[in-house]
Structure 1
Amino acid sequence: MAGSAQLPLLLRVAQGEDAERPPVWMMRQAGRYMKVYRELREKYPSFRERSENPDLAIEISLQPWRAFRPDGVIMFSDILTPLPGMGIPFDIVESKGPVIDPPIRTQAQIDQVHSLDPEAALPFVKTTLQTLRQEVGNEAAVLGFVGSPWTLAAYAIEGKTSKNYANIKQMAFSEPAMLHQFLSKIADGIATYVRFQIDCGAQIVQLFDSWAGNLSPQDYDTFALPYQQQIIRQVKETHPDTPLILYISGSAGILERMGQSGVDIVSVDWTVDMADARRRLGSEMKVQGNIDPGALFGSKEFIRDRILDTVRKTGGKGHILNLGHGILPGTPEENAAYFFETAKQVNQLLAIPA
């Protein structure tokens, strides 16, 4: 690719190039483990204010960039952020998480869900992404992210976080046509939102179908995969060169199915050995992950060994180094720093030829 050396390392690898080392960033990179974030949260206790006020969202997104210089800077936001623009209001209650009240349980409510106009509903996203691109230049790739339809529908139908997803599963198994209509509406809205993020400056977009790992494989094929594909198909029609990543928590049983979604990169959680993931997904699929976030509570030697083991198992190609889930609150900042430092030296440590 002409001039591709000028592109950020993460973007080059995501687009399929071989590179000098695996790029590295972390899910939940900005957040509670950082002292500067906790101080800002005390001043601005509302999560929605922090994520929807562009000045705050930009500052929070850049906190880990200033501290660790990761290869990717991800917009500080939430997967539920576009829902009010589709007629589904929500709140985020500290220590309880997102609340959607009333939850979406009836045909009449689903009929009221409308298409998303991101320019009108989400102007702060545009400001945030444009500014992040200016701030990091070509030193890092700017990532956007969205929720996938099953997970967003689960929040909307349960009304809050859930351990057993009883309400959405009841709808799935007793009134499937109603749920399919809802999922399709969400998929169209999220496809519009992904395109908007790319137009505003996102160079890579990650889809989080966080709760789809709670589905059986056959139900994943019915209620999750087709709507991931609906989004990806629409995005690729207009933005074929923007790499898309799919992440699902607890995905060991559906890993191959994730590869059928149409994404460019599958983000692997830590319940799957990376060498197994590579075999199961095939040599053409790029992978991300998959270090247990709890490893960052270990010694530096332990952290280094886990990084080297993961990279060794990927062969050092087509791999974005990341955690298998978000970095945990309470993680020592010096351990996060060491994770990034070691990741950037990984080829010297392994003596993998570039």
Structure 2
Amino acid sequence: MSILIETLKGKKTKTPIWLMRQAGRHLPEYIKIRQKYKDLMEMFLDPEVVTKISLQPVKRYRLDACIVFSDILMIPYASGCDVSFKEGVGPQVKFSEKFNFASHKLDPVIKGIESIKNESEVPLIGFVGGPWTTLLYCLFDKEERSQMNKSLIHKNEKRINNHIEDLTDIISNYAVQQVNAGIDAFQIFESAAEDLEDEYFDRWCLKPTQKIIHSIKSKTDIPVIGFPRKTSKEGYVKYSNIDKLDCISLDYDFNLDHINKLNPDVAFQGNLNPVALLAENNILQEEVDKILIAFKDRAHIFNLGHGVLPNTSIKKVEELVNTIRGK
């Protein structure tokens, strides 16, 4: 069993490392492929490209996990939405107020997963976006998402309630598709968790996540990681106690002094600030040491508190990986 899977199952091992957005714009081999395509969606729907790009950082850095090169917006795409990824604009979703899920639209992703499994020597992580985060892209434009507040959420409460359950079922279905294709672990990215408080957090984050995890666990006992990015301390405590959650991923703003308040039975992942990879060597080393000391008695996967930044140098990532390997 790999050290990643052992750690996810709660065993204290040598610290494994992988990085969110480890495949992407900081790699010249990625850019070489990206330049051949007008839209990212074309790449997400090409199993050969998915395989190559997913494996690029694993081969370069000898990481302990491979994560599928894909996007959380594959769900809206497969549900009849018009999804585009325009350079300089970011992802855009045109939603007709109804999800018409057609699972066959995701066959290229599933074929990519099967292909990666044939080539990868390390565990493969599949993923979805949390229902709340995914729905935000469908209901609100970029400006609205950046200014999300209680008033806007309250104003759209009925609309959100009308869609969140259906979307949760669709995401659960897709998660099981990935499980059946052979993934070894799974991560739920609730990247917009910070927008939800109290009752809304319970209703639109915790309960849907619980349902997705139960769907996965009904098929297999692969470990599940949850990432409720930038939620409150109380939100992290609640999230860490979701039934059958194996690991909680912490963002870079999480105060490590609060680790003891989280569920002691889950593993931890995180939580280096991606900006630290742009800093001087001594600063990077200090930040890494803080994290390793905080988790010295815990089952812990070293990762970032969010994704690798595009202007990150390969040398810095190599230094980080070598540092973790040397501990």
CA distance in 2, matches of 1:311, 1:288: 11
Say whether 1:230 aligns with 2:211. yes
Say whether 1:256 aligns with 2:237. yes
Partner of 1:128: 112
Which is further off, 81-90 or 50-59?
81-90
| 1:234 CA displacement | 2.0
CA distance in 2, matches of 1:48, 1:94: 12
Partner of 1:271: 253
Partner of 1:315: 296
Which is further off, 81-90 or 22-31?
81-90
Partner of 1:350: none
Structural mapping, 1:38-49, within 5 Å: 38-49=31-42
Q: SS of 1:322's equivalent?
A: strand
Counterpart of 1:284, as a letter, is D
Partner of 1:164: 147
Question: Residues 54 and 69 of structure 2 are in contact (CA less than 8 Å); yes or no, is this contact kept in structure 1?
Answer: yes
Partner of 1:12: 6
| 1:60 CA displacement | 0.9
CA distance in 2, matches of 1:317, 1:135: 31
| 1:257 CA displacement | 2.0
Closer/same/farther in 2, CA of residues 30 and 173 from structure 1, 3 Å limit: same
| 1:248 CA displacement | 2.6
Question: Residues 82 and 121 of structure 1 are in contact (CA less than 8 Å); yes or no, is this contact kept in structure 2?
Answer: no
2:177 is aligned, of 196, 215, 225, to 196
Structure 2 length-normalised TM: 0.93
Question: Residues 47 and 115 of structure 2 are in contact (CA less than 8 Å); yes or no, is this contact kept in structure 1?
Answer: no
Q: SS of 1:131's equivalent?
A: helix
CA distance in 1, matches of 2:114, 2:39: 23
Question: Residues 100 and 160 of structure 1 are in contact (CA less than 8 Å); yes or no, is this contact kept in structure 2?
Answer: no
Structural mapping, 1:1-354, within 5 Å: 7-19=1-13, 21-101=14-94, 103-104=95-96, 109-110=97-98, 113-114=99-100, 116-118=101-103, 120-137=104-121, 140-160=122-142, 162-165=145-148, 170=152, 172-174=153-155, 176-239=157-220, 241-253=221-233, 254-262=235-243, 263-276=245-258, 278-346=259-327
Identity of aligned residues (%): 26
CA distance in 2, matches of 1:77, 1:18: 30
Q: What value does the CA root-mean-square deviation take over the aligned residues?
A: 1.9
Q: SS of 1:64's equivalent?
A: helix
Closer/same/farther in 2, CA of residues 154 and 34 from structure 1, 3 Å limit: same
Question: Residues 158 and 165 of structure 1 are in contact (CA less than 8 Å); yes or no, is this contact kept in structure 2?
Answer: no
CA distance in 2, matches of 1:130, 1:59: 13
CA distance in 1, matches of 2:204, 2:263: 24
| 1:175 CA displacement | 5.5
**How many positions carry a matched residue from both structures?**
324
